[in-house]
Amino acid sequence: MLQLRQNLKKAKVAFTLCMLPIGLLAQLSLFPTWDEAIKSGIRLMPEEMAWDSQPPSLPNAEGKYPIPIPGKTKVL
């Protein structure tokens, strides 16, 4: 049973690693050309990779994160 659970965890990690580039490509596919996508200024990752760096979106005073709304939210 333990081996089955370990394989399930590995399968979830593999699935996530496969879907991440697809999601990034889906966001960039909204632009007609690659040049426009690069010039758009969309940040898909933090400027600095460190344990103490700030994420692109932070919770409000109630501890809730902003919810993206299609057609209204430009970039998170």
d(CA 2, CA 31): 46
Region 9-21: mean pLDDT is 77
Enumerate residues 6+ apart whose C-beta is below 8 A from 76: 56, 57, 66, 68
Which band of pLDDT confidence, cut at 50, 70 and 90, is reported for residue 1?
very low
List pLDDT tens digits, range 25-58.
777 777 788 788 778 777 667 777 788 887 777 8
pLDDT at 6: 66
Tokens of 8: 């399930």
**Secondary-structure breakdown of the chain: helix, strand, coil percentages, each rounded to the nearest 5:** 45, 0, 55
Distance CA 5, CA 9 (A): 6
pTM: 0.38
Percentage, residues of the chain above pLDDT 90? 4
